[in-house]
Amino acid sequence: MFNGKRLILGVTGGIAAYKAVELCRLLVKAGAGVRVVMTAAAGRFVTPLTFQTTSGNRVYQDLFAANEEYSVAHVGLAQETDLLVIAPATANCLGKIAAGIADDLLTTLVLAARSPVLLAPAMNEAMWDSAQVRANVARLAGLGFFFAGPADGELACGGAGHGRMASPEEIFAAAGDILLQPQKWRGKRVLVTAGPTREALDPVRFLTNRSSGRMGYALARAASEQGAAVTLVSGPVSLPPPAGVEVIRVTAAQEMLEAVLQRFHETDVVFKAAAVADFRPAVESGQKIKKSGELTLTLLKNPDILAELGRRKKQQLLVGFAAETENVGMYARGKLSAKNLDLIVANDLTQEGAGFDVDTNIVQLIFRDGTIKSLPILSKLEVARAILGELRQKYFDVPGEIVYET
Ligand code: CTP
């Protein structure tokens, strides 16, 4: 599966370092060439000999070691790598990488690396929840770093909680997702919106819709796997954040509008997969509304976020979504031109296997130039990959442009 792939496994000083041995074994068994780089603190938990035996290669520890193989170890190692995995990645290591500090071989390699970097954080729950680590993780995700975990479970400090390193199998699977996807969106900045919005009536009630967020989350995941730096502005959904993606959580349409506008100028492609509530209650009651008598609601029109982006757009590509129950093509084309879009992804909600609550979708891609592409029933992740592929072919595949393959 990983035949011919060259990986660096970075191990930092946490108790989960012993689990990195199993990860190393899984990677080697799958055919990857693995070179292990340990920090000094990692050597306090597991000996280099263990990793040397598991990887079948010498272990790298010292930034300044003279060695015959690489004249400048960090440049040589960094250039010959398809993926750099750091497991466990301690809070200290995340902080250094987020700040661009390079004070040992591993952090120097991260700075010099041109390959994707997958981080498997491991720390206690309080550290993971700290404002500093939250900010570092958000920054790293925004810079295009991938994350696997952390998971819930027993912690070394006693008790249970969030912060435990993802299992070797999960990290292995995340590495596969990155390695086996061509990095054709590297260098592109992508903004995805997903999920419903909630428009408050009173402190306990709101208006919303049935959007699950799955299509938007699949797009964010697929774009990130293919190397894009992805920001996901998400309404309230119960999906886990995709690896490597900066997630901004919002509730109401107005908040989504603000989050999107703030980032629009530094974005190359926007996927507007969110099902934004078209109306909001004219008045949000400060107190819970009581059930005495009848209730008449006055609704006000919400801003149309996509139409606003259409008015402001310069170089950005805009992708909209149209979920319809009749006249799909006609309505979708109407939205494409009214909102100044480059592509609209249309689906017919009446078809079995399309729409909100299912894992599959059946869509038609209608481009600005009138080209139409109908896709068969596919999983939402496959739909996402197809959309990315079509867009790339149409807009980015300039002859002679360098395409990064892994
Ligand atoms: N959209 C938006 N802001 C809104 C409403 C919709 O950004 N207030 C975006 C959606 O994210 C989606 C596209 O616009 O990409 C859907 O187009 P729209 O015409 O708003 O669809 P509907 O709300 O379904 O419109 P209609 O009720 O007219 O079918």
Evaluate the CA torsion angle 176, 177, 181, 185 in order and state its sign: negative
Q: Which atom of ligand 1 is nearest to the CA of 302?
A: 8
Q: What span, in angstroms and rounded, lies between the C-alpha atoms of 153 and 160? A: 5
pLDDT in tens, 375-394: 888 888 889 989 999 999 89
Q: What span, in angstroms and rounded, lies between the C-alpha atoms of 268 and 385? A: 17
Q: How many angstroms does the Cα of residue 135 sit away from the middle of ligand 1? A: 32
From the centroid of its chain, how far is CA 293? 48
Pairing assessment for the beta strands 343-348 and 360-361 based on DSSP bridges:
unpaired
Does the annotation count 157 as an active-site position? yes
pLDDT in tens, 98-154: 999 999 999 999 998 878 899 999 999 899 999 999 999 888 876 778 888 888 777
Instruction: Among 208, 211, 270, 304, say which to mutate for ligand 1: greatest number of ligand atoms within 8 Å of CB.
Output: 304
Whether the domain at 6-183 and the domain at 185-395 fall into the same CATH topology = yes
Task: Give 59's contacts (C-beta < 8 A, 6+ positions apart).
Answer: 35, 36, 37, 38, 48, 51, 52
Q: What span, in angstroms and rounded, lies between the C-alpha atoms of 176 and 327? A: 41
The ranges assigned to domains in the chain are: 6-183, 185-395
Which H helix or E strand runs over 323? Answer: strand 317-324
**How high is the pLDDT of residue 133?**
94
Ligand 1 pocket, CB under 6 A = 253, 272, 274, 276, 278, 302, 304-306, 320-322, 335
DSSP 246-268: EEEE--SHHHHHHHHHHHHTT-S
Reference 63, options 50, 75, 51; nearest CA is 75
Q: What is the CATH T-level fold of the domain 185-395, as seen in this structure?
A: Rossmann fold (3.40.50)
Reference 276, options 226, 329, 353, 211; nearest CA is 211
Of the residues 72, 75, 157, 372, only one is catalytic, namely: 157
Q: How many angstroms does the Cα of residue 144 sit away from the middle of ligand 1? A: 29
pLDDT in tens, 335-390: 999 999 999 999 998 888 887 777 788 999 999 999 999 988 888 888 998 999 99
Name the CATH superfamily for 6-183.
Answer: Flavin prenyltransferase-like (3.40.50.1950)
Q: What span, in angstroms and rounded, lies between the C-alpha atoms of 52 and 35? A: 9
**How high is the pLDDT of residue 402?**
42
Instruction: Among 198, 211, 232, 278, say which to mutate for ligand 1: greatest number of ligand atoms within 8 Å of CB.
Output: 278
**How high is the pLDDT of residue 329?**
92
The length of the chain, given as a count of residues: 406
**How high is the pLDDT of residue 122?**
95
Q: How many angstroms does the Cα of residue 78 sit away from the middle of ligand 1? A: 45
The residue ranges of the chain whose pLDDT is under 70 are 64-74, 142, 157, 398-406
